[in-house]
Amino acid sequence: VQLVESGGGLVQAGGSLRLSCSASGSIFSFDVMGWYRQAPGKQRELVALIHSSGSTNYADSVKGRFTVSGDNAKNTVYLQMNSLEPEDTAVYYCNFVRGTLNYWGKGTLVTVSS
């Protein structure tokens, strides 16, 4: 299974970006799909998750600004990021989980300029 992210880039503060991540090589759906990020010099942290039930979880720092959504049939997860802040600058990684199996994308860089 390979996860491929897209949608990162450079944006000004207050702008928006939409990240996508699709799983190839999988014939089954996933229990949880989500996004993590790692800023320079910091540990990787949770951004948002969507469960197969449709329930979602968000980091406090992105609540009200980011929206995670998923398409189970396509094994694709999206992250709509609005009102971006320089503090959101990081490499964003998608993560898919099925049981004890855990898959990571290679990451896509999001840079927010002030």
Please write the tens of the pLDDT for every residue from 53-111: 999 999 999 999 999 999 988 899 999 999 999 999 999 999 999 999 999 999 999 99
* Radius of gyration, alpha carbons of the chain: 13
What's the pLDDT at 72? 85
What's the pLDDT at 28? 80
pLDDT exceeds 90 at position 27: no
pLDDT exceeds 90 at position 42: yes
Question: Is-contact 82 63, C-beta < 8 A?
Answer: no
What's the pLDDT at 4? 93
What's the pLDDT at 31? 92
Query: What does the chain look like in DSSP terms, one character per residue?
Result: -EEEEE--EEEETT--EEEEEEEES--S--SEEEEEEE-TTS--EEEEEEETTS-EEE-TTTTTTEEEEEEGGGTEEEEEE-S--GGG-EEEEEEEEETTEEEE---EEEEEE-
For the segment 25-37, the average pLDDT, to the nearest whole number, is 89
